[in-house]
């Protein structure tokens, strides 16, 4: 069984590896206005997931396949996918009760 500290250490390692892989200055989305554009609408960016899809969580390998599919255009993220899968399976085992707390930022990230 992993302790909370061990989990935090592993998350830290994943984060460090992820930020190493993603070269400094890489942008995944625009942060500001662009006067050269006539419109900010985009074509649907994630059509494979936009309507309905599945996630196979039967075992670690199947979940990894889902991650790799998700990041097939993001080679830089693939190296951390495996560790994320491990964490997902381990966290599933050690997660306690769901909290009733609502983050004030639930809209954004959680």
Partner 1 sequence: MSSDKYILGISAFYHDAAAAIIKNGEIIAAAQEERFTRVKHDPRFPVNAINYCLEEAFIEADDLEAVVFYDHPLLTWDRIVKNCAMIGEESYPTFNSALKSVLGIKLWVEEYTTKAIGTLGKTGKIIFAGHHMSHAASSFYPSPFEEAAILSLDGVGEWSTTTLGYGKGSDIKVLKEINYPHSLGLLYSAFTYYCGFKVNSGEYKLMGLAPYGKPTYVKEIYDHLIDVKADGSFRLNTDYFGYLKGDKTTNAKFHELFKGEPRKPESKITRKEMDLAASIQVVTEEIMIKIARHIRELTGSKNLCLSGGVALNCVANGKLEAQKIFDNIWIQPAAGDAGGALGAAFVALHLYFKESRAPRTGNKDSQHGTYLGPAFSEAEIGAFLDRHEYPYTKFESDADQHTLLAKELDSGKILGFFSGRMEFGPRSLGGRSIIGDARKTDMQSKMNLKIKYRESFRPFAPAVLAEDVSAYFKLDTESPYMLLVAPVKENLRTNVNSEEQLKENNDDMLGVINQARSTIPAVTHVDFSARIQTVHLDTNKRFYELLTAFKALTGSGVLVNTSFNVRGEPIVCTPKDAYQCFMRTEIDILVLENFVLFKPLQPKIDNDENWKQQYELD
Q: Kindly list the residues in this chain that would bind partner 1 in the complex (CB under 8 A).
A: 7-8, 11-12, 14-15, 18-19, 21-22, 24, 26-34, 37-47, 49-57, 66-67, 70-71, 74, 77, 84, 87-88, 91-92, 94-95, 98-100, 102, 104-110
Please tell me the distance from the alpha carbon of residue 19 to that of residue 98, in angstroms, as a whole number: 29
H or E element, residue 89: helix 78-94
CB atoms within 10 A of CB 27: 7
Give yes or no for a contact between 65 and 56, defined as CB atoms under 8 angstroms apart: yes
Dmax over CA atoms of the chain, in Å, equals 55
Nearer to partner 1, 1 or 31 (CB): 31
Nearer to partner 1, 3 or 29 (CB): 29
**Nearest distance from residue 20's CB to partner 1, in Å?**
10
**Nearest distance from residue 77's CB to partner 1, in Å?**
6
């Amino acid at each position: 069984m992993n302790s909370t500290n061990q989990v935090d250490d592993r998350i830290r390692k994943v984060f460090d590896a992820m930020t190493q892989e993603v070269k400094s200055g890489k942008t995944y989305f625009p942060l500001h206005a662009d006067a050269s554009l006539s419109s900010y609408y985009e074509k649907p960016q994630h059509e494979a997931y936009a309507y309905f899809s599945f996630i196979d969580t039967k075992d670690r390998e199947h979940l990894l396949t889902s991650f790799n599919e998700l990041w097939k255009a993001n080679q830089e993220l693939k190296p951390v996918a495996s560790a994320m899968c491990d964490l997902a399976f381990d966290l599933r085992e050690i997660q306690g009760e769901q909290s009733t707390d609502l983050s004030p930022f639930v809209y954004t990230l959680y």
